[in-house]
């Protein structure tokens, strides 16, 4: 998938670390301030007994500034280290003037789904981290929503000077759409009701071209598009009237994937006797964020794991085999 294939390990590690930092630093859930902005929030203000003495007030403004400095400084340092390591380790070969490369027809556009998913989730983590840092709701949404685009897009400049690749306008577009998708939901609902998720299963295609599709399981997880599925999961309960009986943790999901892809484009695959095809899925998903628990640790773990679609029954349709049912698809 070009940049995303080769560098996804580093980016996902940074992204996961960012989400984990937001959760570990945050006091409980996204914060009591968000409960005011979100009528459907499950956060319940704590009530102190009348006899309990009120603790001495703290300088909340100073504390918010310290949080913000910690967040911005740590993020800038982490990104700088990653960017520098990429320029000194991955991109050490011949460099050419910046040029563009049209990779839209490749991999049945699953790499674009990966760009969208990555930018969305990075932006989601950034918005919640900025809320934790004490920014106003408006600033947290506007500044944080485009962090995914800002993180991923400059790396196109590195690919743009690689003679074997090039900068991709469609990668940039997918990055933008991922961040814009998060922004639209935050502006409309101050929450995420339609969540892009990712799942993976091992396939036999990697053995046919292990240098590209991966040799080890971690490599195949990142590089083998035949095993990747991207989902959109909808929080139905959030759209219903208050007091409805729909369990918020149970969500319908639509998925997209592809198979018979060993080479980038359909022409090369056809020459090798392969016929890439698209797959469409209808399934269910468990939104771990909605699982009731009093454990702060579990809430934070569930937040991070909510970027993945969990194995579930699924109905598949593809142009080659028609409809099929999977008792447990991942």
Cβ contact 313:290 at 8 Å = no
State the Cα angle at 123 between 219 and 134, rounded to 5°: 135
State the Cα angle at 310 between 307 and 311, rounded to 5°: 155
Name the stretches of the chain with pLDDT < 70: 1-59, 86-92
The mean pLDDT of the chain is: 83
pLDDT at 59: 58
Please report, for residues 28, 39, 43, the alpha-carbon distance to residue 36 in angstroms, rounded to integers and kept in the order given: 15, 7, 9
pLDDT 10s digits, 257-266: 999 999 988 8
Task: Name the residue ranges covered by the structural domains of the chain.
Answer: 1-40+61-190, 193-330
Cβ contact 179:188 at 8 Å = no
pLDDT at 68: 80
pLDDT at 14: 42
Our CA dihedral for 48, 50, 52, 57, rounded to 10 degrees, sits at 70
β-bridge partners, 323:
317
Please report, for residues 5, 115, 225, 231, 257, the alpha-carbon distance to residue 220 in angstroms, rounded to integers and kept in the order given: 10, 17, 8, 19, 15
pLDDT at 316: 98
pLDDT at 88: 67
Please report, for residues 27, 28, 62, 167, 202, the alpha-carbon distance to residue 124 in angstroms, rounded to integers and kept in the order given: 18, 17, 25, 25, 28
pLDDT at 55: 53
List strands edge to edge, sheet with 277-286: 194-200, 228-234, 250-259, 277-286, 312-318, 322-329
Tokens (6 digits) for 37: 């902005």
Please give, one letter per residue, the 3-state secondary structure of 187-209.
HHHCCCCEEEEEEECCCCHHHHC
At a CB cut-off of 8 Å and minimum separation 6, what does 63 contact? 134
pLDDT at 84: 75
Cβ contact 206:195 at 8 Å = no
Cβ contact 147:161 at 8 Å = no
pLDDT 10s digits, 107-154: 999 999 999 999 999 999 999 999 988 899 999 999 999 999 999 988
């Amino acid at each position: 998938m070009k940049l995303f294939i080769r560098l996804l390990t580093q980016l996902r590690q940074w992204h996961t670390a960012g989400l984990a930092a937001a959760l570990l630093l945050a006091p409980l859930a996204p914060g009591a301030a968000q409960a005011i902005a979100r009528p459907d929030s499950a956060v319940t203000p704590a009530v102190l007994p009348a006899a309990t003495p009120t603790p001495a007030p703290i300088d909340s403004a100073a504390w918010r500034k310290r949080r913000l400095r910690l967040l911005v400084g740590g993020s800038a340092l982490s990104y700088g280290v990653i960017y520098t390591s990429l320029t000194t380790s991955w991109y050490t070969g011949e460099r050419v003037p910046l040029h563009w490369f049209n990779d839209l027809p490749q991999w049945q556009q699953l790499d674009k789904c990966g760009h969208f998913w990555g930018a969305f989730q990075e932006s989601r983590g950034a918005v919640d981290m900025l809320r934790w840092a004490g920014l106003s709701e408006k600033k947290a949404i506007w500044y944080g929503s485009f962090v995914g685009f800002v993180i991923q897009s400059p790396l196109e400049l590195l690919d743009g000077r690689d003679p074997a690749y090039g900068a991709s306008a469609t990668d940039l577009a997918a990055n933008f759409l991922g961040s814009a998708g998060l922004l639209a939901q935050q502006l409309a609902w101050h929450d995420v009701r339609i969540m892009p998720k990712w799942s993976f299963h091992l396939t036999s295609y990697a053995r046919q071209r292990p240098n590209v599709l991966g040799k080890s399981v971690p490599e195949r997880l990142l590089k083998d598009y035949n095993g990747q599925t991207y989902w959109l999961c909808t929080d139905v309960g959030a759209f219903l009237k208050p007091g409805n009986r729909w369990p918020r943790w149970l969500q319908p999901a639509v998925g997209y994937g592809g198979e018979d892809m060993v080479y980038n484009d359909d022409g090369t695959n056809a020459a090798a006797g392969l016929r890439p095809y698209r797959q469409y899925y209808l399934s269910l998903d468990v939104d771990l964020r909605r699982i009731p628990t009093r454990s702060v640790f579990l809430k934070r773990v569930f937040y991070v794991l909510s970027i993945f679609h969990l194995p579930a029954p699924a109905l598949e349709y593809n142009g080659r085999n028609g409809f099929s049912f999977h008792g447990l698809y991942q």
